A = this chain, B = another copy of it.
Amino acid sequence: MNYIDKLTYPILLGLSLFTFSNSIAQKSISKKINQESTKTSIVSYEKYIDDNNDRHIKEFLELVSIPSISSIPTNKPDVVKTATWIVNKLNSIGIINAKQLTTDGNPVVYANWDKAPGKPTVLIYGHYDVQPVNESEWDNPPFSPIIKDGKIYGRGASDDKSGVITAICAIEAILKTDGKLPVNVKFLFEGEEEIGSPNFKKFLENNKELLKTDFAVTADDIQDSETDPAITLSLRGAAQLEFTVKTANSDAHSGQFGGKTPNSVLIMSQIISSLYDKVGNVAVEGFYDKVLPITAAQKEMMKRIQYDPTTDMKILGTTAEVGDPAFTPQERIWYRPTLEIIGMQGGYTAAEGHSNIIPSHAMARITCRLVNNQNGQEIVDLIVKHIKKQCPAGASVSFKYRPGYASPMQYPTDTKGYQYVADALTAVYGKQPLQMATGGSGGAMLSFKETLGVYAYSLGFELPDEKWHASNEFFRLSSFRKGQQVYCYFLQHLAEEESKLK
């Protein structure tokens, strides 16, 4: 049985109120999803979750304290240490075959609980690597996490160690309560998500049989708010590039040489400025060629989300929104591509001191978010062409490619996988999930579909204000509890519904 085919699920269930007019329409769910048996189990799992909360928080802090920064090669031992930590944790709850599988990059943590023969298999994806840090900007050291006001502060607390620990602790609750799981479960935690999952697709292809599954969820995802559940139906792609402008072999005395010597920071600034037009669109030729118009269905979906421009502005402390006024800010985040300079440095920039030099070289890093048919490699090629063209006499430009471009991704809603996730969120939050897009990317998501034939639906509990990638990242302990509840409900409910289909 192919569990991910476009579904006759509602019909099989005999729930006449399900209508699938189009793949992204919000569903009206009226059936009693809280079957009595599921409800009863959930109560006992909740007791386990609460009884073990202090220990789990300690473990959460331990996990966050390991600086598994995948983009910094010298942190590789910490990346491996984190994978080992997760393997040990899985072993400790009774999943004894947990192990690290090698890839061309960082290891993948894999574990398999397969003692429910005849039952479907659910694969839970997450990532244990984290973004780098600007240590000086953190109120508390990023890898010495603390609990404050019901939140855990530290790098990766939200993105995505919250996902890893929430899923594992939920499984622990079921295993320790019932002595077994209602379905077969596979864990797959990768260590290169934050660098674009460059080796993940190949890993999936090489391990197709091992990873075979009926359903998949990603623990690296978001809800709309503490009280509003959501399911992500659209991800932007991502592509990144670093380049350096060089004007001389060494910095020059600004007096001795100033007036005839090219300045790498000025030239870099001019190149960066040339990447945008006046309204804030990307001025790279061909950048928008494969971007499609926003569809009526997408517009419909956006209408259902209450967009308040002040919410994000409050989170960030911004005072204005920028971008092409031909699109709403929400459209620009969800369905339009971007090109951002994520960092730039040239010359003497130590905190103190003033060195009177003409800088010989300047470096900048770019990240693009892509949509529709935009291809990471093609976009990088266009940007390289643009920058080369802009580079004036007296300067040369070199590029550092960072492979691992994520493709844009769309999810259907007329699948059983979608419905089980929606049911679980509805049960725990007491309201139906919003259907959302996100401006973020998930390099692995398209690979799941292409390689294993499953959509990995969002079952993560990060919230938009939790400063992913930024300083002072945090995660709510309330989400930690709620997340475990949802996972428990999801597996139990999926098992029951699937058994009815037999």
Q: Which residue numbers of A lie inside 8 Å of B, CB to CB?
A: 69, 71-74, 131-132, 134, 137, 194-195, 236, 238, 240, 242, 247-263, 265-266, 268-270, 272-273, 275-276, 312, 316-323, 329, 332-333, 336, 338, 340-350, 352-360, 362-365, 367, 369, 393-396, 402, 438-441, 464, 467-472
Contacts and interface: CB of A to CB of B under 8 A. Distances in A.
A402 B354 contact: yes
Contacts of A333: 256-260
Contacts of A467: 250
B348 A254 contact: no
Contact of A131 (B341, B343, B356, B395): B356
A502 to B, nearest CB: 41
12 contacts: A132-B355, A194-B356, A250-B472, A251-B470, A252-B318, A254-B338, A254-B342, A256-B333, A260-B333, A263-B340, A266-B273, A343-B346
A404 to B, nearest CB: 10
A198 B329 CA distance: 49
Nearest to A271: B269
B257 A320 contact: no
Contacts of A470: 250-253, 357
B131 A261 contact: no
Given A260-B329, A348-B343, A359-B342, A441 B354 contact: no
Contacts of A247: 318
B343 A359 contact: yes
Contacts of A321: 260-262, 394
Contact of A240 (B137, B323, B354): B354
B346 A394 contact: no
A458 to B, nearest CB: 14
A316 B252 contact: yes
Given A273-B273, A356-B469, 14 more contacts: A71-B353, A72-B350, A249-B316, A250-B467, A253-B468, A256-B464, A258-B338, A259-B439, A260-B323, A260-B332, A269-B270, A319-B396, A340-B358, A343-B359
| Contact residues of A: prevailing secondary structure | loop
B468 A256 contact: yes
A267 to B, nearest CB: 9
Contact of A365 (B256, B257, B266, B347): B347
A250 B467 CA distance: 8
Copies of this chain, complex-wide, total: 2
B362 A367 contact: no
Contacts of A359: 341-343
Chain A to chain B: the 10 pairs with minimum beta-carbon distance, closest first:
A249-B317, A320-B394, A343-B347, A255-B440, A259-B332, A132-B353, A345-B349, A269-B272, A71-B353, A260-B329
Contacts of A358: 340, 342
Nearest to A321: B260
A317 B264 CA distance: 13
B354 A71 contact: yes
A344 B236 CA distance: 30
Nearest to A266: B341
A265 B344 contact: yes
A272 to B, nearest CB: 4
B344 A269 contact: yes
B347 A253 contact: no
A265 B134 contact: no
Given A254-B369, A312-B257, A360-B316, A349 B354 contact: no
B342 A354 contact: yes
Contacts of A266: 272-273, 275-276, 340-341
Contacts of A240: 354, 356
B132 A250 contact: no
* Interface-centre pick from A72, A255, A352 (highest chain B CB count, 10 A): A255
Contact of A260 (B242, B322, B346): B322
A434 to B, nearest CB: 16
Given A259-B369, A269-B344, A355 B469 contact: yes
Contacts of A332: 259-260
B348 A365 contact: yes
Nearest to A440: B255
A341 B263 contact: yes
Given A347-B365, A354-B240, A469-B356, A340 B254 contact: yes
